[in-house]
Structure 1
Amino acid sequence: MYGPEILIRTLSKTTREDRYGNRWQYHSRSDHHSKVACWGIVFDLLRTAPLLRRHVETGRVHFGINHEMRDFVHDRKKNLDLVLCAASGAGGKPSDRTLHSMAEGYGIELTEKERTELAGLPVLHQAPVGSVLMALEAKACMTAHQRALPRLYDELNSSHLTVHGATDQAIAAGFAMVNIASRYLSPDLNKKNRAADPEWSTHNQPRDASLAVDKIRQLPKRSKTGETGYDALSIVVVDCVNDGSPVELIGAPPAPQPGDIYHYASMIDRLGHIYATRFKDL
C-alpha cells in the first residue's frame, strides 16, 4: 500500500504559506493534508479493487471534491473531502480534472514506481456528483492532543452520520492522522515570531498520541447496511515537527499493527471487499 508513504513524503515539503510569508508542512486551516490522504486511498483502491477499476474504465464511476452531503433524516449537511460517485443525471459532463492531474495540482510526491502504476490505471474523472458510492473523510490530530479530542471525535462522527443519513448504501470511510512528535511548531503560535523567536509546543509522548488513537478507536463502526458507524476506518501515526524536517511514518505502537482493523492496509482491503459486494450490479 502506498498511501501513507505518499502522505508523509508530500507533507515533508513546506508548501503551505500563511499571510506572513511563513511556509509550513502542515497548517490546520488548510485541507491539503486531507486531500493528499484521500488521493492516496483512491490510488490504492484503484490498484487493488478490480471491480472499482472496471467501473472507472467504463465511465460509470467518477469523483467529487468537497461534496456537500445533506442528511435526509436530520437535515444537516457536511462537506466531504472526496467522494466516489455516479455522474449526476441533471446534466454536466465529466471534467478534464482527473486523479492523475490532481497529483500535480496538490503537489503530491510520487516515486517513479508509483508514477508508472498511476499511468497504468484507468483515468478517474471529476464529475457533477449523482449517487454517492463512497465518501472519504480525513482528519488530523497534530498538537494539543487532549484538548483537541472532543472536536476531532465530533467531526469524524458527524461524517458517517451525514453520509448514511443521506444514503444508507454509501460506504463511509474515515482516515485519521495522529502526531507523535514530542515537540511541534504550531502555525497558530508562530505567525510573526517564527523566524526570530519560535514558540515550541511540547507533548508528553507516546501518552498524548495514545490518547488520540484510543479516542478514534471509540468511533462507531458497522458491519452491514442499516447499522450506525463507519464502514472502514484507519489510523496512521506520524512524527511531524512541522519545522521543515522530514515527516516520518511510525509503525510501532500506538500505531495500529498489521492485521488490526484500524491498520491502513486493513481499511483498503475492507473497502475493496465492501465495494465489490455492494455495487456488483452498478
Structure 2
Amino acid sequence: MSRQQDDHQFGDRRIVKWLNQEREWKYPKNVPYHPRSDSHGGAQSRYFVDDLIHESDVIAEAAREGDLVYAEDYDVGDPRGLGWNVDLVMGPPAGDVQAPLEGGMAVGPPSEVWLACDAKSIITEHQKARRNRQRDINSFADIMHSHHEQAITCGILLLNIADRFDSPTRDADDITDHPNIDRIVGEIVDLFDSIDRSEGEMSANLDGAGLVVVDHTNLIDDIGDTDLVTREPAPQPGERVHYRTFVSEMADLLEQRFL
C-alpha cells in the first residue's frame, strides 16, 4: 500500500544534494565523489530504505515495531570466494534492537536476508565500466540466491551524463571528455533494462534495478552544480528501471513475499 506524503524527497533527488556538498577526502582532490570511496553507495542505500518506508504502510509498521532492520556492508558467504560484501541487506532482527527513530528503521544484523541491494555507479569511462557493472549485478544476484534462495535482489546504478569529468584518480590537469554521452547513457539504460528479471518469482535472476541519471562534472569550479536528469535518455516514469518505479515494485515484492 502506498503512502502519500508531499514532503517526502526520494533518493534520486537526495543523492544529488549529497553530490553537491563539498567534503574533505583523504585522496588528493577535494571533491564530493571519489571512485575509491563507498560513501556514495552507502548514502544511496540509506535513501532507498527511507523510500521503501515511505512507499509502504506495511513496511513502515514493520520498521516502527522493530520487526524489520537493515545493515550496511554485510558479508554474505566469504567475499574472497563465493561470497559478496553487500551494500544493504534487510530482514527480521537477529536479536534485540534499539527502537528506530520516528519514521526510520533500526540498524542491526538480520536473522535472515529478505532483501539485498547493491549500489553501483558509472561516473566516467563509461565504455569500460558498463560491462563491468552488468557483470557485477548478475554475479551479485546469483551469489545472493545461492546463500539466500528467497531473498529479493536488486541494484541501484548512479549514472553520470556529464560530458566532462575531473576524475580524482587522474592528474590534476587530466580532464576526461565524453563525446556522444547521450547515446552512451541511452545504451547503458537499455543494457540494464535488458538484464533478466525474476518477474516476481523466486529464481536466480535479479528482481529489480533502478537507475539515477545525474549531470555531475566533478570539476572543482562546478561543485554544487550537479543536477538530476529526467529527460531522455534517462528512464521515464513507469519504465521498470526508473528509480521511483523500481522503489514501488521492490516495496510491493517485499510486502507480498515476506510481510
Tell me whether the two structures share a fold, i.e. TM-score over 0.5.
yes
One-letter code of the match for 1:6? R
Distance 1:50 1:268 in 2: 14
Could you say which residue in structure 2 is the equivalent of 1:237?
Answer: 213
> Could you list the runs of 4 or more consecutive aligned residues of structure 1 that deviate by over 4 angstroms after TM superposition?
none
Within 5 A, what are the aligned runs for 1:125-204? 125-190=106-171, 194=172, 198-204=173-179
1:61 aligns with 2:68: yes
**Offset, 1:218:** 2.7
Provide, for residues 198-232 of structure 1, a one-character-per-residue CA deviation record: whole Å limited to 9, x for no partner.
Answer: 21100022122223222222322111333232212
Q: 1:277 to 1:143 in 2, by over 3 A?
A: same
1:80 aligns with 2:86: yes
Question: Which residue of the other structure, out of 199, 205, 209, is the alignment partner of 1:223?
Answer: 199
Could you say which residue in structure 1 is the equivalent of 2:249?
Answer: 270
Question: Which secondary structure does the structure 2 equivalent of 1:14 belong to?
Answer: coil
Report percent identity of matched pairs: 25
**Offset, 1:16:** 5.2
Within 5 A, what are the aligned runs for 1:245-264? 245-264=224-243
Question: Which secondary structure does the structure 1 equivalent of 2:107 belong to?
Answer: coil
Distance 2:242 2:27 in 1: 37
Does the CA-based 8 Å contact 2:192-2:209 persist in structure 1? no
**Offset, 1:15:** 1.9
Distance 1:163 1:218 in 2: 20
RMSD after superposition: 1.9
The count of corresponding residues between Structure 1 and Structure 2 is: 245
Question: Which secondary structure does the structure 2 equivalent of 1:79 belong to?
Answer: strand
**Offset, 1:8:** 0.5
Question: Which secondary structure does the structure 1 equivalent of 2:150 belong to?
Answer: coil
- TM-score (ref. length: structure 2): 0.88
Unaligned runs of 5+ in 2: 1-8
